[in-house]
Amino acid sequence: MEFLADGNHTAVTEFILLGLTDDPVLRVFLFIVILGIYMVTVSGNLSIVLLISGSSQLHHPMYFFLSQLAFADMGYSSSVTPNMLVNLLVERNTISYLGCGIQLGTAAFFGTMECFVLATMAYDRFVAICSPLLYAMKMSTRVCVQLLAAAYVCGFLNASSFTLSFFSFVFCGPNRINHFFCDFVPLIELSCSDVSVYILVSSISVSTVIVTTVI
């Protein structure tokens, strides 16, 4: 821990997000475009969730998983986009150390959950096509809830690996993140501690998610 003993190093309490561009005209254009896309995304996904939950005719496994996919997509978009929009409006966008960790963990959670819900939807269609007579039994309410719970748990575990790694990093130098949100790779580049173990853990976690959902 010799780097902490050096008086020239100061513990980082906030980060500066450099964003997408410094061109003021392009920033305004991107703000309008991204805001429009974000509003359509949130309103569309929210409409899907409300429609499926409010209509008894849509209380089937396919629509149940579709509503959860819409929820995950809405959560993933909301974990990144609002801060990115702020970054396009202000000259110097900062995010606290805690806020950066929360943003990283939230994005990892909803992103992982979305992957597992998509895989679950693929399995649901596989059962419906290959075993139509046994579909009601194989995709019962209990099974659907268990599959969804597994998606939540896997999302939590993957997000925990990234979040715990982030809070284990030591930041004692530059705090300018060359990105529009707190992503894992730019944070690794800013850390002044040994991150080899955390890179290995996060790589294993991501690889497990990819392999499991593809299979």
Cα–Cα distances in angstroms (integers) from residue 133 to residues 96, 120, 129, 160, 177, in the given order: 54, 19, 10, 40, 54
Pull the structure tokens for residue 106: 């939230």
Please report, in tens digits, the pLDDT of each residue of the chain (215 residues total): 333 444 444 577 788 888 777 788 888 899 999 999 999 999 999 999 999 988 888 888 889 999 999 999 999 999 989 888 888 888 778 888 888 899 999 999 999 999 999 999 999 999 999 988 888 888 988 999 999 999 999 999 999 989 998 888 888 777 888 888 888 888 888 888 778 888 888 888 889 988 998 88
Which CATH topology does 2-214 take?
Rhopdopsin 7-helix transmembrane proteins (1.20.1070)
Q: What is the distance between the alpha carbons of residues 148 and 145, in angstroms, rounded to a whole number? A: 5
Helix (H, G, I), strand (E, B) or coil at 175: coil
Residue written as token pair 């944070």: 187
CB burial of 120-132 (b: ≥16 within 10 Å; e: otherwise) equals bbeebeebeeeee
Q: What is the distance between the alpha carbons of residues 15 and 177, in angstroms, rounded to a whole number? A: 7
Stated pTM of the model: 0.84
